[in-house]
Amino acid sequence: MIKLIHTADWHLGQTFFGYDRAREHEIFLRALRRIISERGAELLLISGDIFDTSNPSAEAMKLYYGFLRDVTSDNPGMRVIAIAGNHDSGARLEAPHPVLESIDVITRGTVRRLADGTPDYSRHVVPVMRDDKTVAYCLAVPYLRAGDYPEADTYNESISLFYKGVYDHVRILDPSGTIPIIAMGHMQTSGAALSEDDRGERTITGGIECVASDMFEPRTAYTALGHLHKAQRVAGRDDVRFAGSPLPMSFSERGSAKSVCYAEIAEAGERFQERRPEHDAGSDAGEDAAPEGTPIFSDATRRIELIPMEQTAPLVRVTVDGDDIDGLSEALRSLPEGEVGVGSPYVEMRVSVSAPEPDLRRRIEEALAGRSVRLTRIEAVATGADDAEPEVSPDLQGINPMEMALEIFRRRYGGDMPEGMRNLLGQAIAEAQQQ
Ligand SMILES: [Mn+2]
């Protein structure tokens, strides 16, 4: 039996609305180390977006390489396989490879070419060894950029051709087809749920590069994907999974469970006793972590389990009426008191206002003094908001900026613009017209 842990999208070095998350990452990595040792995993798969940027800070790099040293010395015989995501620089990730290889950390960040110009697929077939015997092949394919993959009509076809090249290489190494295959990838697939409001997931050129999961051949024991921040299976296949990010990356993820994936894969000729899953994995999108120790999927050759990751700093959204100053202070009073620390919630304020409130941030910050929270953003929602499109004059030259502003103000706030503001705007318009 091969025991593996699959994780992805750490985004080390990320700041969240300006707040440094290094301590949260440190706590996650410590928990991950404990899980790996407890489970006796012999394979750790990191499916890309290890760092948040292609040029990570010294602190983020220290965190990563310190973790690799600790986790490999804790678990002799364990192999770590890491691929680059779209946020990583593949070349930079591979640079320390000569040193990392000596502690059994294999990194695949770039695609190399053979003399005839075809991609060197063999580099992406990484054997998993035990006692000098190959027990599995890992297809370590990083996020593929233009130029990495063979030309085809569509992005999906190109990526499929690349994976086919890698699978074909396994067929050369193992003609009998008995050694299990574990695939890795960093991509967006069709049949997966995106988090609304999470730009990190979408930086793959406009989000159009979506691929079908059927490129992972049915004989693949497990497919470890990265890129989407919500943990999920793909297109109904329990063995094709996004691990999800260990830290919530946007407010749209508040309340969604975070986990790492643990899988047991049967070796060649081995059969597991079939067990019925005790937990219904539910829909493709909305599955939460089952209680620890409960497989979400199991058959004769696989057992898959989600191991919940506790959240260090929760995300909290507070919705209040900004005109009701007492109500506002009341809502903020419910937030924890004390010093701001690593566990302090990140707070997003949604304040409904009936008029523009230039003073809102200062008022909220004052009311938050002494609270153990980290204010992220304040969203002022106009109560008089009218969703109807403002009427736009067909003659653009004929638009009077003051009239336009008064109309928009009326629609947003349901009343007339105060005189002081009108005078100020009049001055600004006059100055602009003079220039
Ligand atoms: Mn990504």
State the distance from the centre of ligand 1 to the C-alpha of 195, rounded, in angstroms. 13
Average pLDDT over residues 322-330: 74
Binned at pLDDT 50, 70 and 90, residue 365 comes out as: confident
pLDDT at 203 over 60: no
Binned at pLDDT 50, 70 and 90, residue 202 comes out as: low
User: What mean pLDDT, rounded, does the chain reach?
Assistant: 88
Average pLDDT over residues 89-111: 96
Binned at pLDDT 50, 70 and 90, residue 373 comes out as: very high
> What is the Cα–Cα distance from 292 to 415, expressed in whole angstroms?
55
One DSSP character per residue, 375-388 reads EEEEEEEETT---S
State the distance from the centre of ligand 1 to the C-alpha of 219, rounded, in angstroms. 26
Average pLDDT over residues 278-296: 56
State the distance from the centre of ligand 1 to the C-alpha of 220, rounded, in angstroms. 22
Closest CA to 302 of 390, 240, 245, 364: 240
Residues with CB under 5 Å of ion ligand 1 are 49, 85-86, 227
Segments of the chain assigned to CATH 3.30.160: 313-383
Average pLDDT over residues 142-170: 93
pLDDT at 385 over 90: no
One DSSP character per residue, 340-374 reads --TTPPEEEEEEEESS--TTHHHHHHHHTTTBS-E
Binned at pLDDT 50, 70 and 90, residue 284 comes out as: very low
Average pLDDT over residues 70-74: 96
Top CATH class of 2-308 equals alpha beta
Binned at pLDDT 50, 70 and 90, residue 115 comes out as: very high
The pLDDT value given to residue 277: 54
From residue 245, alpha-carbon distances to 211, 256, 308 in Å are 20, 11, 12
The pLDDT value given to residue 227: 95
State the distance from the centre of ligand 1 to the C-alpha of 107, rounded, in angstroms. 16
> What digits encode the pLDDT tens for the residues 230-245?
999 998 889 999 999 9
The pLDDT value given to residue 301: 93
pLDDT at 395 over 80: no
State the distance from the centre of ligand 1 to the C-alpha of 53, rounded, in angstroms. 11
More confident residue, 282 or 262: 262
pLDDT at 210 over 80: no
State the distance from the centre of ligand 1 to the C-alpha of 209, rounded, in angstroms. 12
The per-type count for the chain, helices as H runs and strands as E runs, is 10, 20
pTM above 0.85, yes or no: no
Segments of the chain assigned to CATH 3.60.21.10: 2-308
State the distance from the centre of ligand 1 to the C-alpha of 261, rounded, in angstroms. 18
Helices (H), 87-212: 90-94, 97-101, 155-173, 199-202
State the distance from the centre of ligand 1 to the C-alpha of 203, rounded, in angstroms. 7
Average pLDDT over residues 305-331: 85
Binned at pLDDT 50, 70 and 90, residue 384 comes out as: low
The pLDDT value given to residue 205: 46
Pairing verdict, β 2-7 and 79-83: unpaired
The pLDDT value given to residue 256: 82
State the distance from the centre of ligand 1 to the C-alpha of 387, rounded, in angstroms. 34
Binned at pLDDT 50, 70 and 90, residue 123 comes out as: very high
The pLDDT value given to residue 295: 87
Phi-psi region of 63 (alpha: psi -120 to 50; beta: other; left: phi over 0): alpha
CATH 3.30.160 for domain 313-383 = yes
Binned at pLDDT 50, 70 and 90, residue 278 comes out as: low
> What is the Cα–Cα distance from 226 to 232, expressed in whole angstroms?
10
Lowest pLDDT segment from 15-19, 185-189, 270-274, 312-316: 270-274
State the distance from the centre of ligand 1 to the C-alpha of 208, rounded, in angstroms. 14
State the distance from the centre of ligand 1 to the C-alpha of 48, rounded, in angstroms. 7
State the distance from the centre of ligand 1 to the C-alpha of 85, rounded, in angstroms. 5
The pLDDT value given to residue 175: 96
> What is the Cα–Cα distance from 349 to 309, expressed in whole angstroms?
26
Question: Cβ(102)–Cβ(73) under 8 Å?
Answer: no
State the distance from the centre of ligand 1 to the C-alpha of 51, rounded, in angstroms. 10
pLDDT at 121 over 50: yes
